[in-house]
Structure 1
Amino acid sequence: MSRWVLLLAELPLAAQDLASVLARLEKLESENRELKQEVKQLRELVEGKPSVPERLEIVERRVEEQASTKVEEANRFPVTLTGMALFQTFYNTRGANGVDVPTTAAAAPGRAAAGASVRQSVIGLRYHGPGTLWGGKVSGSMFMDFWDGNTEGATPPFRVRTADFTVDWATRSFSAGLMKPLISPHDPNSMAYVGVSPLTSSGNLWRWQPQARFEQRVGWFKGQAAVMQTAEESTGAPANLLANRRRPGLELRGVVGHSWSGERSFEIGAGGHVSESRLGSQRLPSRILSMDWLVTPLPKLSVSGLFFKGENVHHLGALRQSFRVAANGVIHTVHSMGGWGQVSVAATNRVTLNWFAGVHNDRDSDLNRGQNGLNRSGGANVMYKMAPNVVLSFEGMQIRSDYVGTVSRRINRYDLTIAYLF
């Protein structure tokens, strides 16, 4: 009897042990499932990750792609679009003969002229290479407009004004293209005269012509040389006498200049031009000496200009009367002197004032009666920057022309222009 009592007493203890065992088994089973899940995730991670050789192959491929991209970028020339959309209104008093941009006062009274135009707008491209050519940086530009002369046509052509390709080294430069004469590097500031340079026929030698240039810099000094192609048809010689309408020319220029803190500077140059015109069987020299300057004595004041003296100078953009044919058939060159000057003042950050004047004087004894012996121009303008890219300008100018042995004429010209710069 006592044994049964003991067995009955042990039954609850056995049940407790069984429950404990089952709980431990359940816990082990749960931990086992978690371990299996972690093992599965680790296997998936290991199987998805490339091996060391595969990783090296990917890195090499990416390096090749980057190198290819850099080579492509180095072979490109970034091009920037620039220029000026110019709307111009003008009024010329009698004597301008109805032309848009007069450079002389006509001997006959003619008629007054007024109008508006956008054909002096300019479109340009600037480019520069990220790489180098023989250690030099490459750059260049090309500017075009719709100018077709002094009277507006039905469909103004697209004209190349200037273009250049330049390589710059530390102390020297080489450039080639369509450029202003080397001996006349500066221009007055004007938005009224864009199709032709300001003070044309009044001392500014400006005509853009094909040329190649070299420049050497040593301290404050620059030595420059240019080989150019002259345009002989602009000399005013009879077409039947012009043996060659294109002739080679040589120009030299020495410059002394320096800048202080980018606010004050000076540049003074002296140069010369040598070429030869051929009319029939005669060879006629073109010889010009020049001096030019650009001085900024104060941050908001600049003075610039040019002086020249020589013979047969007109193929560089001056009065078209380089020669005189005598009664006996002998051809003589015309001797000339002239120049121009400008004072520019930045009155405020938005307003700039410009005063300029120029003169071209041909020796009367070299001319026939009735030819323009003395041509003078003077004017002023105010430019107001309405917005960072919008400029409003008003300009007034007077042109005086003295004709040998006959009359003196003058015209007044007034321009209102607005330009969007891009």
Structure 2
Amino acid sequence: MPILGALALALLAARLPAQDADRVEVKVSGTILLNTFYTSTRTNNFDNPQVVLRPGAADSLGDGGGLGFTVRQTRLGVRAFWPDLHGAEVRAEVDADFYGGQQQSAFGDLFPLLRIRRAVVDIAWDRATLLVGQEVPLIAEYNPMSLATLGLSGLSNSGNLWLWVPQIRGGVRLARTPSMKFDVEAAVLGAGANEPAGELLTQPDRAEQSGRPALEARAIVRWGNAERPGDVSIGVHQGWLATSGDSSISSNAIAAAARLPLGSRLTVTGEAFSGQALTGLGGGGVGQFLGVNNIPVATKGGWGQLMLTLPRSVTLAGAWGMDDPDDDDLDAAGRLRNVTTMGALHWTPAPFVTALEVRRLTTTYRTGERSAVHVNLGIGISF
């Protein structure tokens, strides 16, 4: 019941009178979403696949695919805004869904677990910003637009470093013109290797055992307005993973990102990266951070999406992503390459949302390629 209590408090706060000096605007938002889907063969995740698995025991009943329904990508959020709090604009947000896993029971997949995705406090002055909370990596802040992949990026393990990470982030505006802004930003992130956690007891993973946080920095140019924003950035990531004894290995990356509004209806968004041992950012290296003899897996990847907004609340979207680890770093069972292609038709006459998406995944092993097709129909309402 914690989420219901939080929502009730937010609604109450929105109705209470506030002093002019610290007036707060509170909004409760959400998307109630049903996804019905078909996946053609065995993948890592039936309702939202990222990689195709090699043939195994699960294929004894067929090809490992099937048809399903789920509501676990339903989202709930609370946002608060102070337009002038001690000279700064302050925004706070909690964003949650039900993609936190499932209980091991006969009907566990019908009762998904609540999960906090993002929880941030964002403070903005005239020439400086401060963010505290859990948010996407500073160097890779975009995800492909998709109602089929709200719970987990559809291009995770295919070039999208997406994972929400606890962090402290600051920025300084170095230059500003009437049409453009140039900022430099840096972040200290909670270290993580994206290793599986236990059900009850929290233990440090390899990144946390290094005793050091991860660090990121970027330079970014912004232009446009709230309806049609544009930006280009380049950034770096540095982290550490503990190994035997007191030694550690480096997790690092250089990344570029862009969001380009072209005319009034077309938008191109994309990211590219090169680095090593990057699973702590959400799938770099196709989910592999250590390879043969515990060497860090070097990898490169990226993704891009083209979105065309049409009249009558229709949007067409197409995306492609790829993650290509160094084959020499991987063992015999390693995933050598992962490619995902997506196409979607969105119809969103407010407050209703509907989307039909088709995704093709191709995962390469030393024994050859494995491919799967995923078809997803999302139907819901946003408020």
TM-score, length basis structure 2: 0.84
For residues 71 and 85 of structure 1, the distance between their equivalents in structure 2, rounded to whole angstroms, comes to: 31
Residues 207, 240 of structure 2: 8 Å contact kept: no
Q: Does 1:295 align with 2:257?
A: no
- 1:120 maps onto 2:76 in alignment: no
Alignment partners' CA distance in 1, 2:279 and 2:252 = 11
> What secondary structure does 1:408 align onto?
strand
CA shift in 2, pair 1:283/1:315, >3 Å: same
Rg (Cα) greater in structure: 1
1:356 is aligned to 2:319: yes
3-state SS in 2 of match to 1:365: helix
> What is the CA–CA distance in structure 2 between the aligned matches of 1:97 and 1:128, rounded to whole Å?
39
How far apart in 2 are the matches of 1:381 and 1:252? Answer: 33
Aligned residues: 344
CA distance in 2, matches of 1:264, 1:98: 34
2:216, 2:238 within 8 Å by CA — same for their partners in 1? yes
1:418 is the counterpart of 2:379: yes
Q: What is the RMSD computed on CA atoms of the aligned residues?
A: 2.4
Residue of 339, 343, 357 corresponding to 1:395: 357
In the alignment, residue 114 of structure 2 is paired with which amino acid?
F
For 2:48 and 2:305, the matched residues in 1 are separated by 20
Q: 2:96 maps to which residue?
A: 144
Kindly provide the amino acid, as one letter, of the partner of residue 323 in structure 1.
L
Cα distance, 1:142 vs structure 2: 0.6
Other structure's SS at 1:234 match: coil
Q: Do structure 1's residue 379 and structure 2's residue 335 form an aligned pair?
A: no
> Within 5 A, what are the aligned runs for 1:111-260?
111-129=64-82, 131-133=84-86, 135-149=87-101, 153=109, 155-217=111-173, 218-219=175-176, 220-234=181-195, 242=206, 244=208, 247-259=212-224
Letter in 2 for 1:394: L
Letter in 1 for 2:241: S
What is the identity percentage for the equivalent residue pairs of Structure 1 and Structure 2? Answer: 28
Q: Residues of 1 paired with 2:25 and 2:244: CA distance?
A: 49
How far 1:363 sits from its partner (Å)? 0.2
Name the CA distance, whole Å, in 2 between partners of 1:121 and 1:202.
24
**What's the CA shift for 1:154?**
5.3
Q: Could you tell me how far apart the structure 2 residues matched to 1:71 and 1:166 are?
A: 21
> In the aligned structure 2, how far is the partner of 1:241 from the partner of 1:325?
19
2:249 and 2:232 map into 1 onto residues whose CA distance is 30
Contact 1:227 1:251 in 2 (8 A): yes
| AA at the equivalent of 1:229 | G
Higher relative contact order (CA 8 A, sep 6+): 2
C-alpha deviations, 1:373-414, integer Å up to 9, x for none? 1000001000012x32101110000000001x2121000000
**Residues 214 and 95 of structure 1: CA distance in aligned 2, closer, same or farther (over 3 Å):** same
Q: Residue 75 of structure 1: CA displacement?
A: 4.8
Aligned to 1:320: 287
- Could you tell me which amino acid in structure 2 is paired with residue 379 of structure 1? M
Equivalent position SS for 2:195: helix
Letter aligned with residue 188 of structure 2: V
Gap runs ≥5 in structure 2 = 1-15, 198-202
Kindly indicate whether the alpha-carbon contact (under 8 Å) linking 2:193 and 2:205 is maintained by their aligned counterparts in 1. no
On the 8 A contact 1:166/1:176 being kept in 2, the answer is yes
Indicate yes or no: 2:36 matched with 1:89. Answer: yes
Alpha carbons 1:104, 1:201 under 8 Å: kept = yes
Q: How far, CA to CA, are the matches of 2:115 and 2:51 in structure 1?
A: 24
8 Å Cα contact 1:376/1:399 also seen in 2: yes
Shift of 1:190: 0.4
Contact in 1 for aligned 2:70/2:110 (Cα 8 Å): no
Give the equivalent residue in structure 1 for 2:300. 337
Q: Flag structure 1 segments of 5+ consecutive residues without an equivalent.
A: 1-68
**1:263 touches 1:299 (CA, 8 Å); kept in 2?**
no
Question: Partners in 2 of 1:241 and 1:269 — Cα distance?
Answer: 30
Q: 1:108 maps to what in 2?
A: 55
Distance 2:132 2:290 in 1: 30
Matched, 1:78 2:39: no
Structure in which a larger fraction of residues adopt helix = 1
CA distance in 2, matches of 1:278, 1:271: 24
- Quickly say closer, same or farther: Cα 1:240–1:82, change in 2 above 3 A: closer
Cα distance in 1, alignment partners of residues 243 and 118 from structure 2: 29
Partner AA of 1:295 in structure 2: L
Give SS of 2:361's match: strand
CA distance in 1 between counterparts of 2:257 and 2:29 reads 28
Shift of 1:83: 1.3
**TM-score if structure 1 supplies the norm length?**
0.76
CA–CA separation in structure 2 for the residues paired with 1:206 and 1:177 = 16
Give the 3-state SS of the residue equivalent to 2:109 in structure 1: coil
